[in-house]
Structure 1
Amino acid sequence: MSTNIGVILKDVLDMKIEELPGGVPQPEPDQVCLSMGPVGICGSDVHYWQTGRIGDFIVKAPMVLGHESAGTVCAIGGDVKHLQVGDRVAVEPGYPCYTCSACLGGRYNLCPDMKFCATPPYDGSLCQYYCHKAAFCFKLPDHVSLDEGALLEPLSVAVHACQRGKLSFGQKVLVCGAGPIGLVNMMVAKAGGASVTITDISESRLAKAKEMGADAIFHVTNRDSRETAEEIVNLSGYSDLTIECTGVESSIGTGLWATKPGGSYVQVGYGKAEVNFPIVAVGIREIDIYGIFRYANCYPKALALVASGAVNVKSLITHRFPLKDALKAFELTKAGTGVKVIIDCDN
């Protein structure tokens, strides 16, 4: 096949399924070309579609969407030694410069020259064929599916969040938000030996969280952060580690109030650029606050969690569509229906 069909964001609210220029791409010496399989829709994809920007990342030219992906190697560059045609791989969607202080210090997610799929101006992987740096393509064991490979991306966010918060065995963890990112954080925390309470405003998402192993669920109906925190503490006690996955100001306050003195708090969700939060409570209780931005060196750990059976990411998938119905898949995701929507690029 010489054509390459993809999902292109032309402009705000203008998304098309059409042939990409240039046909099937050819890999550079350090790249592989992939016949793409499943690609998950992330909230960031929807946000770019609806608003054309996330913070300082602004869509200024047509861009292929998608970054939660896996595929099969169909061509390799001349310098690639660890992969061969036919290998099934998960795609870590960003690759850094390798030379800046962040990269050399092992925190390449903070590289100022990061090239990340479906983050302007770089194209994503929601297409039939896609080339990527081979060093950031991870071969899947035979018993790990392409679906699981695609979902290593959100799972790596959770691995990074739990590492930043210094998760340890036996802790009480509070996860604020039972969307896809909240659920993977719940699963990683439980795999690390923690008990998890998870909150949300949606009863259906809380039911899904309970089905997937939450120790306790809490339906948020009160926008008063401190009162909500008191109710959560009455339910399951103060948290050793809180992982906030909504970015909503009231939820941030709740998470901080519900964290024990000397505990840790990780901000995963992004909402408004500036929020109010109880800084005095943070200070006098010595709560350690951590931010996260994507992940670094987490794909091998995420793959190990899936390959060992410690985490079941397939349980996140609620809907799937062929590539030709990608617009329907995006509409479903925008409506908040289900948990994780998958688009099959090979179908």
Structure 2
Amino acid sequence: MKNKIFWLNEEEFIKRLDTFPYAEATKVNIKNAYLNFIDFMIRKKYVTDFNTPSIDGEKLDEIVENFINEKDTFGLKSVYRNSLRPIFILHNLEFNIEKYPIINYAEFEDYSERFLTKEELINEIQFVYNESDKLLLYMAYLNICGDDLTNISYAKIEDIDFNTKEWKLYDGQVVDFKNDLLLEQLLKNTINQTEYIPYIKINALYEYVPTSYKYNENCIYLFKTRKHPRSNDGLTPLLKEGIKKTYTRLTLEFGKMFRRNNLKISGMLNVMYEINPSPKWTIKEITKLKKELGFKGTETDIKIFYLQKYFPEYLLEINKSKQKK
């Protein structure tokens, strides 16, 4: 069967192991590690028959990750990870140690409150004053801000087509919002926004702050600036520093979940959950999705954040089982 991996039974494994130039003590350790590995797969119901154990090749990364990270300490995890190398060699399988990082679940601080599900994001942004700021937050969640925030700075109204429901971004990406009613509504609301309401906590530091300021209705950009000689009376694009300040104001006003990086992570976690609403994501799968989404971040951190946010009970069970040992 395609992608099927057949593991050797104990007798066959020992015979093949004897053909390799390992020291006798090393052979004993490798044999014990192999029996431990097979026992793990049986306990977790990956295989049912010790005489002819086999697995679906697509499950290999998940099995290896779970086998390694089931152990209590970093030292044990490392030992069990390294024990798999000769086992893989004896089965003509490639073993890349970087694919299987060691994860200490219990050592991670709970960051779940910093990240938002899609429903939580919708609930939170209803308290944001300006429609354009809601769109800024959602763009970070979708990870479409662009390098140096250029997709925000140079977003033009004419690049949004509500007939085809497509938005051509400055960097060439085309965002299809046929099935994204939130994005469609935020785009319409931002286009129709005629004034901006400053945020009190930051602006209270200044001597004079208007309650709101009007936009120049002739501005061609989606995100507009205040009418001022430096902005050519509000006709120039909103620059990177101004965008960063807006994200900072939103974070100070509403909380850490509105930090741009936290929103990007939230969006990544949401995509993971929409694709496969299961705690069984492997590092390999996360790496692949990261590349597809153009997302930067450490796979182990992403996996921990995902479990903390969407499957806290799964982490709780892992930690409980370790405490019993």
TM-score, normalised with respect to structure 2: 0.28
TM-score, normalised with respect to structure 1: 0.27
Larger Rg: 2
Greater strand share, 1 or 2? 1
Greater helix share, 1 or 2? 2
